[in-house]
Amino acid sequence: MELSTYKVHIEGTVQGVGFRPFIYALAQRYQLTGTVSNNSKGVEILLNADSLTFNQVLIAIEYEAPPLSSIETIKHEKLPYQSFDDFQIIETQEAGEVTVNIPPDVSICEACEKELFDPSNRRYGYPFITCTHCGVRYSIIYDLPYDRVNTSMKFFEMCEACEEEYSNPLDRRYHAQPIGCHDCGPKLELMDNVGRVPLIPTNEIDKIVELLHNGNIVAVKGVGGYHLMCDATNEEAIQKLRDRKQRPTKPFAVMVRDIDMAKELGEINELEEELLTSKERPIVLLQSKGKHVGLPLQVAPNISRIGLFLPYTPLHLLILDKLNRPLVATSANVTDEPICTNLEDLEKLQGVYDYVLEHNRDIVNGCDDSVVMVVNEQQIILRRARGYAPVSIKLPFKLERNVLALGANQKSTIAIGFDNQVILSPHIGDLDSIGSVEYYQKNIETLERMYDFKSDIIAHDMHPQYESTKYAKRCVGKRTLREVQHHHAHILGVMAEKQIKGKVFGVAFDGTGYGDDGKLWGGEFMVCDYEGYERVAHLNYFKLLGGAKAIKEPRRVALSLLFDLYGEETLALENPTTQAFSPTELKTYFIAWQKGLNAPESSSVGRLFDAVASLLDVCQLMSFEGESGMMMEELYDSSVVGHYNFGYKDGKIDVLPILVGMLAENDTTIAVSKFFHTLVEIIALVYAPYDLPLVLSGGVFQNRVLLGLVLERFPEAIISNAIPPNDGGIALGQVVSGY
């Protein structure tokens, strides 16, 4: 048959994932000549073939593509015939606008794991073993295209053996950018707690394991930052970490050797196992077996859930394999600051750790561990970071102009939107400190630079005090600002992820977000589409005594609701809430409530949770966000039936009758369980008249019990699976607002 020259252009995640050698191998199989190359738009192939063979090649590309790749588009055309001597992989060429995706960091693959523990392999025990199908990506990239010179591996010169693998198209390490070995790659360095004096043991891994065994806290440099690690079976070590980090109760994540060790500690269903062992290797929140069988309570005080994850780098594997017991592995960061990515950052935590396990490959882009849970057979992402970000999200329509979306203020993420795609940054964190705001700006600059992105529109939250809003106003220049209501953005994020067009009925249950009336919303029911929203119902406003302080003190919210119910008589009441204050405090707060002094109004379901937790004496003061809800999850009993009364008139939900019902209850478990049921009843009643898809979002839906109950009642309800229901999903919603 007659040969023609075909040009094929492929876009998607096709760089740094072994795509060119895959095409090379295909060309060998079909004995074709031509070339394959990367450019900043994707992969380009020139191929001489007859039409029949060419079609077979196209099918093979689609069905046999390498495991880490994902093809978004394949386009091909016939060119005037040109002859080639053989098939060649040619070097990267530059080409205008960047549309190629930054590959995320992925966990070590099976083949590399096997070599790591094979004494006859030349990389036996090498803590940075990697290949085309696994290893660091995003965290070491300065710029696109993804080539070694654009990563922090550029400082390591390949040895001859590595060079040979790197240049052989049929080798598993062909163009594996982070390739290295004992001779030429990154190396470990063990340091004391000042972080400057190297200790030189004969074997770093043996030494680290010994130190962990003896109850030391070690800062270990990983992929996107450092972890603070200690033996998870050592009560004293964990308590020491809690005391030094001033983190009394917030649960710690635990890294386990393998899925078998995970199964000893947690109840794991099929989907949870899939997530634990996936290439993303997130922290998975699981029901622990009994009350922490095998682990001291200090790992997660008062809570029967446990966050487990598997080693995702060869370094972690080597440590876990030798230690053979679970390890507490929590992100090393100063409270309210981003994760530490270099020794200088880490010095701020001096006194917390006893030793540092350092290595000399720079972390260019910080990235936390991702956190997921499974509710009613659905994956819910609570923190979208390592492994998942910055993967692009496809939109159901094309954006007319480029949008930079700045997210909210807590669990911040940012997004850039162009054409029909959105790149959502990994979890950045709360913007509550100068350090975190700097880190936030760095993330914006990084995404813009890598994608050579210029925005026409800056989308931001309505809250005037958010750092993201201030940033928008500071940097706007000639761009257009677009203000997006917080809860509208929540619902839009889900719509964008699920590619929903048209109107939906959105339920946004949240901590707090700025409303278009200047009040703090958070118990919102809205009929909305990309263009706008109608707030059809919400919780009746109540006052947050002390403003921001009320967010950390459930007792303040409960007291305010008691004032709403009983006015001045509250001062004479005896219940857990009033008893959490001194008589003088009660009087002061009554006046503040009466006069509305430093008492912003809120319709937040998150705060209602707090109020309930205080009234039932479950939690009066919180040491971390979401604590009250977590403790209420613990108390829920599915055998309890019934709910409390509530009022509903003119789109306003009166929650006071709920409190009256609860105060008359003398069993906390029954009260908590009926409270959960009441929230489901509220949704059912308000949603009933609408024939629209039901969309759920907002941080309160991270509550496993509530989400489970709502999904049981409304199996068709839509919740996001690729972006978090909390404020981490806001940036995506902001991008699509106004379309």
Site of interaction with Zn ion (CB under 5 A): 109, 112, 131, 133-134, 159, 162, 181, 183-184
Q: Which residue lies nearer to Zn ion by CB, 131 or 472?
A: 131
Q: Which residue lies nearer to Zn ion by CB, 162 or 237?
A: 162
Minimum distance from CB of 178 to Zn ion (Å)? Answer: 10
Minimum distance from CB of 36 to Zn ion (Å)? Answer: 22
The single-letter DSSP state of residue 432 is -
Minimum distance from CB of 60 to Zn ion (Å)? Answer: 23
Minimum distance from CB of 66 to Zn ion (Å)? Answer: 12
Minimum distance from CB of 340 to Zn ion (Å)? Answer: 27
Minimum distance from CB of 165 to Zn ion (Å)? Answer: 8
How many of the other CB atoms lie within 10 Å of CB of 297?
A: 12
Q: Which residue lies nearer to Zn ion by CB, 109 or 261?
A: 109
Q: Which residue lies nearer to Zn ion by CB, 107 or 603?
A: 107
**Helical packing angle, 627-635 and 605-615, nearest 10°:** 60
Minimum distance from CB of 307 to Zn ion (Å)? Answer: 26
Strand partners, 599: none
Q: How far apart are CA 385 and CA 390, in angstroms?
A: 8
Nearest to 78 by CA among 20, 2, 30, 8: 8
Q: Is 49 left (phi over 0), alpha (psi -120 to 50) or beta?
A: beta
Q: Is 452 left (phi over 0), alpha (psi -120 to 50) or beta?
A: left
The single-letter DSSP state of residue 464 is T
Phi, psi (rounded to 5 degrees) for 170: -95, 5
Q: Which residue lies nearer to Zn ion by CB, 173 or 460?
A: 173
Q: Which residue lies nearer to Zn ion by CB, 180 or 629?
A: 180
The amino acid present at 583, given as its one-letter code, is P
Q: How far apart are CA 199 and CA 54, in angstroms?
A: 59
Burial of 63 (0-12, 13-18, 19+ CB in 10 A): exposed
Contact indicator for 505, 687 with CB cutoff of 8 Å: yes
**What is the rounded end-to-end Cα distance, in angstroms, of the chain?**
50
Minimum distance from CB of 133 to Zn ion (Å)? Answer: 5
Q: What is the DSSP string of 148-182?
A: GGGBGGGGS---HHHHHHHH-TTSTTTT-TT---T
The encoded tokens of residue 32 equal: 């074709």
Minimum distance from CB of 150 to Zn ion (Å)? Answer: 20
Q: Which residue lies nearer to Zn ion by CB, 235 or 321?
A: 321
Q: Calculate Rg over the CA atoms of the chain.
A: 27
Q: Which residue lies nearer to Zn ion by CB, 159 or 334?
A: 159
The encoded tokens of residue 414 equal: 């940012």
Minimum distance from CB of 148 to Zn ion (Å)? Answer: 13
Nearest to 363 by CA among 138, 185, 107: 138
Q: Is 583 left (phi over 0), alpha (psi -120 to 50) or beta?
A: alpha
Minimum distance from CB of 369 to Zn ion (Å)? Answer: 20
The DSSP element (H or E) to which 507 belongs, if any, is strand 504-514
Minimum distance from CB of 186 to Zn ion (Å)? Answer: 11
Burial of 329 (0-12, 13-18, 19+ CB in 10 A): buried
Q: Which residue lies nearer to Zn ion by CB, 123 or 704?
A: 123
Length of the chain: 739
Minimum distance from CB of 21 to Zn ion (Å)? Answer: 14
Please, which residues have CB within 8 angstroms of residue 216's CB and are 6 or more apart in sequence? 230, 237, 354, 355
Q: Which residue lies nearer to Zn ion by CB, 112 or 608?
A: 112
Q: How far apart are CA 441 and CA 479, in angstroms?
A: 17
Minimum distance from CB of 618 to Zn ion (Å)? Answer: 47
The encoded tokens of residue 497 equal: 């992820």
- CA angle (686 as vertex; 685, 687 as ends), nearest 5: 95
Q: Which residue lies nearer to Zn ion by CB, 165 or 432?
A: 165
The DSSP element (H or E) to which 375 belongs, if any, is strand 371-375
The DSSP element (H or E) to which 616 belongs, if any, is none
Q: How far apart are CA 503 and CA 530, in angstroms?
A: 8
Q: Which residue lies nearer to Zn ion by CB, 313 or 734?
A: 313
Minimum distance from CB of 160 to Zn ion (Å)? Answer: 8
Q: Which residue lies nearer to Zn ion by CB, 104 or 729?
A: 104
Sign of CA dihedral 441, 283, 111, 10: negative
**Helical packing angle, 554-566 and 583-595, nearest 10°:** 70
Q: Which residue lies nearer to Zn ion by CB, 126 or 440?
A: 126
Q: Which residue lies nearer to Zn ion by CB, 310 or 537?
A: 310
